[in-house]
């Protein structure tokens, strides 16, 4: 199956600054999803991208799916303390329903 | 989205024993999954729980160690058998809601410590 890699592993951000986390797959993905896990919590679904080159926004979060459907990014603007947590990307292959999760990017925010 | 509960929320067990984790969903769902998440790590799929048939296990996970039941469309159990300290982890069930495409919703997890 596909392997999904995610960088950076850790992101320390000053409150108010922007940051981006990146996700890359070894194979073409059918779709990619993003999840957020707060400390001590469980993963919560954020969004799904399906189309090549797709861009979706949720308030201060912008999600992109690459043209080749092998990479994705999550960009957060004006980081707030509520953004603390681990962000996982997860993808499914062309003939697969199973999610392969990236290693996650753990975000801490300096007030 | 579906509301998912898991029991127990946490447990401390002795090596060599077994623990059964329950996952209950408030609506009928087609797909249910069991994951393991070791501290500070990503999620690893253990198996897909199939209603009315044997679970589909991922590489590295076997039925003798992680037997799974799925008697109906709202309930599943995962048993961690003959536990060792290496089984200490968070175990999560997730569901893919009927009508959605691949997006999954997770239960709160069961934190297992094996001593």
Per-residue confidence band for A78, with pLDDT thresholds at 50, 70 and 90? very high
* Domain that residue A94 falls in: 4-110
Q: Is the pLDDT of residue B99 over 70?
A: no
Query: Which chain A residues have a beta carbon less than 8 Å from that of B55?
Result: none
Cross-chain residue pair B42–A101, CB shorter than 8 Å: yes
Query: Which of B38, B17, B29, B34 shows the shortest CA–CA distance to A104?
Result: B38
Buried/exposed code over B78-102 (b: 16+ C-beta within 10 A; e: otherwise): bebbebeeebbbbbbbbbbbeebeb
- Using alpha carbons, list the distances in angstroms from residue B31 to A27, A111, B97, B100: 24, 41, 7, 11
Where are chain B's structural domains?
4-101
Contact A42/B at CB under 8 A: yes
Arithmetic mean of pLDDT, A69-93? 96
CATH number of residue A27's parent domain: 2.60.40.10
A-B contacts (CB, under 8 Å): 45
Cβ A88–B107 below 8 Å, yes or no? no
Mean pLDDT across the stretch A28-43?
95
Which residue of chain B is at minimal alpha-carbon distance from A102?
A: B42
Chain mean pLDDT for chain A: 95
Query: What are residue B10's DSSP bridge partners?
Result: B111
Q: Taking CB atoms and an 8 Å limit, are B105 and A45 in contact across chains?
A: yes
Residue pLDDT, tens place only, B28-69: 988 899 999 998 899 999 999 988 888 999 999 999 999 999
Total domains in chain A come to: 1
Q: How large a percentage of chain B has pLDDT more than 90?
A: 83
Residues in chain B: 115
The torsion defined by the Cα of B2, A48, A46 and A1, in degrees rounded to 10, comes to 90
* CATH 2.40.50.140 at B4-101, yes or no: no
Query: Is residue B78 scored above 70 in pLDDT?
Result: yes
Could you read off the pLDDT of B104-114 as tens digits, one per residue? Answer: 999 999 999 99
Interatomic CA distance for residues B104 and B2, integer angstroms: 10
Mean pLDDT of chain B: 94
Task: Please give the share of chain B, as a percent, with pLDDT higher than 70.
Answer: 97
- pLDDT of residue A39 exceeding 80, the answer is yes
């Amino acid at each position: 199956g596909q392997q999904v890699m995610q960088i950076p592993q850790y992101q320390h951000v000053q409150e108010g600054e922007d940051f981006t986390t990146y996700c890359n797959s070894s194979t073409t993905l059918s779709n990619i999803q993003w999840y957020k896990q707060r400390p001590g919590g469980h993963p919560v679904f954020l969004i799904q991208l399906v189309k090549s080159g797709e861009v979706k926004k949720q308030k201060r979060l912008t999600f992109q799916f690459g043209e080749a459907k092998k990479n994705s990014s999550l960009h957060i603007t004006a980081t707030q303390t509520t953004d603390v947590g681990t962000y996982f990307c997860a993808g499914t292959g062309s003939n697969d329903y199973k999610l392969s999760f990236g290693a996650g990017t753990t975000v801490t925010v300096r007030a | 989205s579906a509301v998912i509960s898991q029991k127990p929320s946490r447990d401390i067990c002795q090596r060599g024993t077994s623990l059964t984790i329950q996952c209950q969903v408030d609506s009928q769902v087609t797909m249910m999954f069991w994951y393991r998440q070791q501290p500070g790590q990503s999620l690893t799929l253990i198996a897909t729980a199939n209603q009315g048939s044997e679970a589909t296990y991922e590489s590295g996970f076997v039925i003798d160690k992680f037997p799974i039941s799925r008697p109906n469309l709202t309930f599943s159990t995962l048993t961690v058998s003959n536990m060792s300290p290496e089984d200490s982890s968070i175990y999560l069930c997730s569901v893919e809601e009927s009508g959605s495409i691949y997006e999954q919703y997770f239960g709160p997890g069961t934190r297992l410590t094996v001593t």
